[in-house]
Amino acid sequence: MLETGSPAPELVFEDTMGDTVRLSDYRGRHAVLLYFVRATSCPICNRNVQDLVRISDDLAADNVRVLIAVPESRERAVTWKARQRVPFPVLTARYDTPHELAGLGGKVFGVMQRSGSVLIDVQGVVRHAQSATLPTGSYDRKAIKAVIGTLSPR
């Protein structure tokens, strides 16, 4: 998992349109909140994504862009994004899953996919990193908003 206070590595994803999305594309312009869902079928992860949708205007006003990473195929991500009405870019990876790229590989004999949230500031420094095998511990809106409050003004 990415460590708070460390520089974010160059992570390269593929979005549901098949376009390349690099974490560095946001550096110097926007903070980024990456939310890694355990699975598109996970009801708790879906609830967390819908919470992000509800607060998306506040996040945008704070210069934070939201990216949602799913461990499934791009085709499945396209269907899920439409069904859930997710307005954010939904990311997959060309080779490994986005989760593996960020150090969120499976736990418990490699089969329990972890979920998590990572906030990266405009300079590319990880300011919040949280992960859990159970999705109830992968998203803490209060903690994320508190960190956003410490970021440099727009």
Dihedral sign computed on CA atoms, order 124, 117, 50, 100: positive
Angle between helices 43-54 and 74-84 (to 10 degrees): 60
Q: Which residues sit opposite 68 in a β-bridge? A: 35, 90
Q: What are the strands, taking DSSP E only, across 12-140?
A: 12-15, 20-22, 31-36, 64-69, 90-92, 115-120, 126-132
Catalytic residue set: 45
Helix (H, G, I), strand (E, B) or coil at 129: strand
> In Å, how far from its chain's centre is CA 62?
17
